[in-house]
Amino acid sequence: MKEPKFKEKFIGMPIKMFAYEHDELFITKKDENAFILYYILNVMACNLYTWGEVETSISLLSKKLPIKNKESDNRAEIKRLLLSLSNKGFIRLFYDDEQLNYDTLLTVRMLSLDDPHIMDMVTSDNYKHVGWVRVTEEMFRACKGDARHFRVLIYMEWRMFRGQDNEGTYCISYGEWEKVLDISHPTAVNLIKEMVDLNLMYKDGGKFYTDEYGNCKQETNKYAPSNENQREEAKAKVKIEDTDSLEKKQNRTVLALVNQMDVTDSRTKKTNLFNSSKKVYLTPYCYYVWKTTSCKQTKAQGDKRLEAIKKANPNQFNKFISQCEQEFKKYEREESLEKASKSNANLISNSNIRDQWWDEEDAKKYQGFSEKRRIEREKADALAELLDA
């Protein structure tokens, strides 16, 4: 393996490690520490004299990558991961002993980045797995030894399509995360949230929309790995936001959600219907808006909140509904008065315009009528003069 001529220091991580439909290539959840081991081996192989190769032992690698608490268990795990990478063709192992022991002198040879085992394409469902992605030391250190976080960053970086026309436009569904990471849906949801909270990645949530059947759905999310500067900026921003009151934070969240879901009833911004905090309760006005709204999103959200209250405490739910019904007419009367007030204001405004219009028409008619009478009067006077003559 020759030293590549790149100015930037990085490790090329084979994308075929994510080819979940190929057992001979795919790194399963059980073996995900192989990503960290592969990175460490590549770093060790970046030397001037034997580029692409490294002489080491399982015992030495065990000290560099502590996975298990017990030393003997950790060595056994390192050996298993080494053999897994070797069997899948991502590294080549050479040793003189009859069997691979913990202290056996190993020569580990890394594949060249243009090796067919890396560059030949394979597919899983409709996903193409081909080539490699640049993994920097900064990405590696950001994960602090967490193999799953590291694995997510690697895949996310690849899906960024750096330097291409579609850079940063690819959307990764939870279904895709589940397959390439070999995890369940709940685990995928929690993992992405955890990485966002740790500022390891940015999540651009897909917009909410209503399909042809009236169901509220969301577009697929976009993700981007964060760098060190962005993480520092995010930490500073969190410190500033922490000074805000809880109420302000909740209001921003509710307004953002209402705007994002295209809620058509503006009254919801004055309610707690979209505020899911356990410390924020529904009010009789929330009930009034829910009962009188024609907005499907507002109606569905109200159904969800009321059903949760009913299920948690039926007695409290009945008391709440009774109180809401008592105050229902009050809100109905207030809203009617408000609408009437606005209607009267519009009528007065329109009346002024209409009166002005009729005045102008009347003036024109009056001017025409006067002119006609004047001509008729002149003719009658002329006729009278002729008769007198």
Quick one: which of 286, 247, 287, 249 has its CA closest to 269?
286
Residues 6+ apart with CB under 8 A from 181: 29, 32, 148, 151, 152, 155, 188, 191
pLDDT of residue 355: 44
pLDDT of the residue at 63: 93
Alpha-carbon distance 203 to 144, whole Å? 21
What distance in Å separates the CA atoms of residue 338 and residue 241, rounded to the nearest whole number? 37
pLDDT value for 83: 95
pLDDT at residue number 357: 43
Which positions of the chain have pLDDT values less than 70?
1-8, 231, 234-262, 276-280, 342-389
Give the amino acid at 28.
T
- CA dist list (Å): 44 to 39, 101, 106, 183: 9, 20, 13, 30
What pLDDT does residue 346 have? 57
Q: What is the pLDDT of residue 342?
A: 67
